[in-house]
Each structure stands twice: as C-alpha cells, then as structure tokens.
Structure 1
C-alpha cells in the first residue's frame, strides 16, 4: 500500500490532479501494482479525504495530546516521538496532528513502522495541498544513516 501512496505523491502534485478512481486503478494496475495493494491504498486515501475536509488549517492554541493506551501500542514509541518532534518544530499543528494519528490508526499491525508514519505525514501534507519545508522533507525522505554530517 505504501508503495502506491509514494507513487501517487511523486506523480500527482495534489489529490485533485489524480484521475478518477476507475482510471487510476487501471493505471496503477498497468504499472504493476497488485489489485489488493491498490484497493487498500485507495480506501485509505478515501479516509484521508474525509479527514482533510475537516481540517481548516487553524493553528489554534497550544494543545497537549495525551495518547490512549491503544494509540501508544499501535503507533509505537518511535512514531509518537516523531509526531512530537514535528509538533515541537512547528510544522504539525494540532488539527494536522490529529489527521496523522487518525490515518496511522487506520493501518493494521502493531507497532506502526516509523518509515510508514513518515509516508502518512507526507500524504497528509499532500492531501491539504501543502508542501513541507526542505528540512522536514529531509526528515521524511532521507534515512538517518544516509545523512551527511558536516
């Protein structure tokens, strides 16, 4: 599923630039993605579209997020830490954070892989038509062992 999401991010600059679902299914299938993987990704994107509609971009007041035991178990320590990092860096306002958590909770398996969470964050930015700044893109795309240390 995440391969399909990354392909969509790299190919279409915004969700509304994607073809309709029937045409998109055919295109993804022709590229070589499996039918189940396509269905799972498109269903997940439908949920993202619903969540994005409720996002209004308000920064809001400072908010404290307390994770439920189910969320903590599902997200895992690394993912919760990464979400906190993005919040403290000022790039993930509370409404966007909640969208990320909602979409992360929709992914089966415990704990969520940190690399999968990074794709989810990227897709949330994409769905809102926002581009993260260069430093955040570096955090989302470059593996720590591949970073140049000056």
Structure 2
C-alpha cells in the first residue's frame, strides 16, 4: 500500500501537472503498473481519509491547539513509530515545520498504513503528503521538502 502512495505522490501529487483522474482510470493505471487492486483501494481510501482530516467534524481534537503540551504516544503508536521517528516529529515541531494539528494528522495517517515495517524515511514521506494536503502549510511543506532532498555538504564522519 505504501508503494502505491509513493507512486501516486511522485507521479501525480508532487508533479506540477494538474491532472484530474477518476478512480477507475487510476485503478486501471495502477493495475497496469503491477499493483494489486485490493492494495490500490486501500491506498485510495487512505488518501481520501487524509483529505477528510481537514474537516473539523472528522477529528474534533485537531481544532484544539495547546500552547504547551507533551505528546504521550499510545502503545500502538510506539510500536509503529520508533524512538528515532518520534524524535524526528519533535524536531520538526521545534523547527515549526509541524504544529499540533499537522503532527496529529501525521500520526493518524501513519497508524492507518497497512504495512508491516515502517521506517524514518517512510515517516518523512507521510509528513510530505500531509503537509502538501493541508492548505496554508506551503512554507512548512517547502521546508520539509528541503530537509528530505537536501544533500549534506562537506565530509560526513
């Protein structure tokens, strides 16, 4: 499922093309690309739920923005998001890339992924997808994209 999301993000969402594709055409294209229909439907549902998160009725806790609070992760979230991933989320909050709402959207979308393994690199892509889909967070998206694609300069030790 995550491979399909990546394919869609790279070929449709992240490209500068403004393409309107219906679900049937998209399903056919993804099937031709070698993806299974069941996984395609899961990925498309995941994207629809991402869009739904912007509506306040869907997740009312997203409307509350505490000034200072500590995020305590559930057992299930800790199992999916390792220490490095949780630290990266905190780092992005400190940088201002993520705020309370977008962090919760990211965690929500991560928990909905149907994948046995989840890495920090996968988390970075989920963050990009979330920020891309939230109006008013264009600067945060650009900053995250820079963090994801920048090559470090100089020698690495």
Shorter chain as normaliser: what TM range? 0.7 to 0.9
TM-score in terms of structure 2 length: 0.74
Change beyond 3 A, Cα 1:58–1:17: farther
Q: Distance in 2 between matches of 1:78 and 1:36?
A: 31
Shift, 1:66, TM fit: 1.6
Q: Distance in 2 between matches of 1:24 and 1:100?
A: 24
Change beyond 3 A, Cα 1:149–1:13: same
- C-alpha offsets along residues 72-103 of structure 1, whole Å, 9 cap, x if unaligned? 22211111111111101101010110000011
CA contact (8 A) 2:2 2:113 kept: no
| C-alpha RMSD over aligned residues | 2.9
CA contact (8 A) 2:93 2:99 kept: yes
Q: Tell which has more relative contact order, 1 or 2 (C-alpha 8 A, sep 6+).
A: 1
Name the larger-Rg structure: 2
CA contact (8 A) 1:75 1:110 kept: no
Q: Distance in 2 between matches of 1:120 and 1:4?
A: 12
Shift, 1:109, TM fit: 5.4
The size of the alignment, in residue pairs, is 145
TM-score in terms of structure 1 length: 0.77
Summarize the alignment of residues 59-98 of structure 1 with structure 2, pairs less than 5 Å apart.
Answer: 61-98=67-104
| Aligned partner of 1:19 among 18, 21, 26 | 21
Q: Distance in 2 between matches of 1:147 and 1:34?
A: 37
Q: Distance in 2 between matches of 1:19 and 1:57?
A: 31
